[in-house]
Amino acid sequence: MIFDVPPVIVGHRGFGAGCPGGYRENSVESFLAAARLGVPWVELDARRSSDGELVLWHDPVTPDGLLIVAQTAAELAAAGIVRLADVLAALPAGVGVNIDVKTAIEDATDPPAQRTHALIAAALRRYLGTRRFFVSSFDPSVPIYLKDRAALIGAVALGLITEQQYPAAQAVSAAANLGLDAVCLHTGALEARRAAPGPGFSAEEILGYAHEAGLEVMTWSPDPAEALRLAQAGVDAVCVNDIPGVQAALAGTQ
C-alpha cells in the first residue's frame, strides 16, 4: 500500500503550484512549509541537468527561457533551482516523496547512462530505505524502466500520470496492464463522463475498476470542494495546491 488511511493529502510541488504563501514551488522552503502543516506526502518535479544532476523544476526551461537540460546544476542553482538531493536532505524523514519524473527529448538519443531514467534509478538505489518513495511519470517508459530494474534498485511504488484530456477509463486500463501500482488522474478526467458514444463512467465507477485491478488512485489537483467529493467517492490521495483549505475540507474523513 502506498497511501495509508485514505484520503491522503499530498502537497503539489511542495506547498502548492506557483507561489502560495510566498513559497515558490519546488523549493526547499516550499517543501518544508508543507511538512510543517503535517502532510504525509509531497510531490516534486525532477529533471536532469547537463552534468547529470536531478534538479527540481516543472517546466523544461528556466524563468529566463533556458533549457534545463542544457544547464549545469550550479548554473541552475544560481537561478534558484534546487537539486533533488538538497530537498531530500532538508525534508523530515517521515514525509513521503512522490517523484514526478520529467523526461526530455534528449532521452531518446543520449547515451543510456546519461538519460533521466538512469539518473532516477541511481537516486533510488542511493535513497531507498531513507523514506517512502512513489515514482510516477507522464512518460510510461519511466515506471517500466524502473520496474524492469527492481532487482537492482529495490521495491518502489510506480505510477502512470495522465492529462485531463486522457480518458480516465483508458488510464486505469493502461496502468493495470503495465503492471503498475497506481494511476494519477487529473481531477477533470476523473469527474468527467465521456462525451463519445458508449457508456460514461462516474468517479465512483472509475475508482471501483482501479481498486479491483489493484491500483491506488491519486488525483491532481482538486480544490477543497472537489477533494471532499472525490474523497467521498473513494480516492486514495489528492495532490493539492491549497493544503490548508483541503485539510479543512477533509477534516473528519480520514
**pLDDT, tens digit (0-9, with 9 covering 90-100), for 80-95:** 999 999 999 999 999 9
Per-residue pLDDT at 100 exceeds 70: yes
Per-residue pLDDT at 203 exceeds 60: yes
Which residue type does 213 have? A
SS3 150: helix
Supply the mean pLDDT for the chain. 95
43: how many CB neighbours lie within 10 A of its CB? Answer: 28
**pLDDT, tens digit (0-9, with 9 covering 90-100), for 137-179:** 999 999 999 999 999 898 899 999 999 999 999 999 999 999 9
Q: What confidence score (pLDDT) does residue 199 get? A: 60
Say if CB 95 and CB 32 are below 8 A apart: no
Show me where the domains of the chain are located.
Answer: 8-243
What whole-number distance in Å separates Cα of residue 29 and Cα of residue 223? 22
Say if CB 81 and CB 27 are below 8 A apart: no
Cis link prior to 221 (omega < 30° from 0)?
yes
SS3 77: helix
* Selection from 105, 103, 106, 110 nearest residue 144 by Cα: 103
CATH 3.20.20.190 fits 8-243, yes or no: yes
